[in-house]
């Protein structure tokens, strides 16, 4: 797993990235054009994203100089003990209108609205005599993540989306 390196907005030349990460750039282009990502995983550059465990809330976003998409990503295998303490990553991947630049945004988001849902799941696990499969245990948590209002995340996903929409490249 890649350790979180702090919030960042990075701009790369697509020709430079295509040398090291041709599949990632091409897969990002496919998603921007409205196609499903290869292998069902939304692309992100390996230099900013580790092994993805959960991806959700994908949304196409146009920024002032191009198009892209955002999603939330959780890199660890979640447990009831860790999901409430760690953050998800807000990830945006975009390509400039002229195709010359690849924009990558990563920001941490926390999910304070999950505390009650996680607490209920922990109580359920403690009272059962047999282990509960993760798929069943995390279903209410994933449903809550999918249905939560953008403003329930910290920072608000709407605010982060607006930051991305404001990106304008003035590169000669």
The pLDDT score that the predictor gives to residue 73 is 86
The pLDDT score that the predictor gives to residue 21 is 83
- Backbone CA torsion sign across 85, 69, 95, 14: positive
In a domain, 146, yes or no: no
In a domain, 87, yes or no: yes
**Ramachandran quadrant class, 7 (left: phi over 0; alpha: psi -120 to 50; beta: rest):** beta
SS (H, E, C) the chain: CCCCCCCEEEEEEHHHHHHHCHHHHHHHHHHHCCCCCHHHCCCCCCCCCCCCCEEEEEEEEEECCEEEEEEEEECCCCCHHHHCCCCEEEEEEEEECCCCEEEEEEEEEECHHHHHHHHHHHHHHHHCCCCCCHHHHHHHHHHHHHHCCHHHCECCHHHHHHHHHCCCCCCC
In a domain, 121, yes or no: no
Q: What is the mean pLDDT of residues 122-151?
A: 76
In a domain, 122, yes or no: no
Number of domains in the chain: 1
In a domain, 171, yes or no: no
The pLDDT score that the predictor gives to residue 71 is 93
pLDDT digits (tens, 9 = 90+) for 24-63: 889 899 999 999 887 777 887 765 555 556 788 999 999 9
Which residue do the tokens 């990235």 mark?
17
In a domain, 39, yes or no: yes
In a domain, 142, yes or no: no
Report the C-alpha gap between 109 and 157 in whole angstroms: 8
Residue 30 sits in which domain range?
A: 8-110+151-165
- What pTM does this model have? 0.83
Report the C-alpha gap between 12 and 42 in whole angstroms: 18
């Amino acid at each position: 797993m890649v350790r979180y390196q702090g919030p960042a907005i990075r701009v790369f030349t697509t020709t430079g990235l295509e040398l090291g990460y041709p599949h990632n750039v091409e897969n990002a282009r496919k998603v921007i054009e409205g196609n499903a990502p290869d292998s069902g995983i939304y692309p992100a550059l390996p230099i900013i994203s580790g092994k993805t465990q959960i991806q959700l809330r994908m949304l196409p976003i146009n920024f002032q100089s191009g198009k892209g998409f955002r999603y939330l990503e959780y890199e660890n295998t979640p447990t009831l003990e860790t999901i409430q303490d760690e953050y998800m990553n807000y990830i945006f991947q975009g390509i400039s209108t002229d195709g010359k630049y690849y924009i990558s945004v990563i920001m941490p988001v926390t999910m304070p609205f999950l505390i009650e849902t996680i607490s209920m799941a922990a109580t359920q696990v403690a009272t059962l005599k047999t282990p509960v499969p993760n798929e069943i245990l995390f279903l209410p948590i994933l449903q809550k993540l999918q249905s939560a209002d953008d403003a329930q995340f910290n920072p608000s996903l709407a605010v982060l989306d607006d930051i991305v929409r404001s990106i304008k490249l003035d590169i000669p």
